């Protein structure tokens, strides 16, 4: 990977970290406990509980993505950045641009 590609990847990682931080803040707001004293109907309460569980899963996924992005950011200057952990081949730059936290090539990720 050349210097220009690394600079592009660095910029994308920083942007993704910012977006993911914002998403996590939103999900945390949406996953607050549902107060039983709120005067909503039984069906509405069940909908709210279901939505909360969906948002809990999204929060967990976003937190994992943030963790992986921070790892990628700390490893961007390593000589093995952009190399698949499994097969040791270069990860295509297109995949890295779409998923800067990817540690595996497409074949090994499947």
Angstrom distance (rounded) from CA 1 to CA 82: 7
Who wins on pLDDT, 43 or 9?
9
Checking if the pLDDT of 61 tops 90, the result is yes
Mean pLDDT score of the chain, rounded to an integer? 89
pLDDT above 70 coverage of the chain, percent: 91
User: For residue 59, what are the domain limits?
Assistant: 3-78
CA neighbor of 85 nearest in space, from 101, 74, 98: 101
- Answer yes or no: is 56 within a domain: yes
Number of domains in the chain: 1
21-56 confidence digits (pLDDT tens): 999 999 999 888 866 665 566 667 778 788 889 999
DSSP-derived 3-state class of residue 83: strand
- Answer yes or no: is 44 within a domain: yes
DSSP-derived 3-state class of residue 90: strand
89-105 confidence digits (pLDDT tens): 999 999 999 999 899 99
- Answer yes or no: is 94 within a domain: no
- Altogether, the residues listed in the chain come to a count of 110
């Amino acid at each position: 990977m050349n210097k220009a590609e690394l600079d592009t990847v660095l910029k994308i990682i920083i942007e993704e970290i910012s977006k993911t931080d914002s998403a996590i803040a939103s999900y945390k707001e949406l996953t607050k406990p549902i107060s039983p004293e709120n005067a909503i109907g039984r069906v509405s309460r069940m909908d709210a509980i279901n939505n909360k569980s969906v948002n809990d899963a999204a929060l967990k996924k976003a937190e994992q993505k943030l963790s992986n992005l921070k790892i990628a950011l700390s490893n961007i200057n390593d000589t093995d950045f952009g190399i698949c952990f499994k097969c040791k081949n270069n990860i295509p730059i297109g995949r890295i641009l779409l998923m800067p936290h990817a540690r595996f090539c497409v074949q090994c990720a499947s």
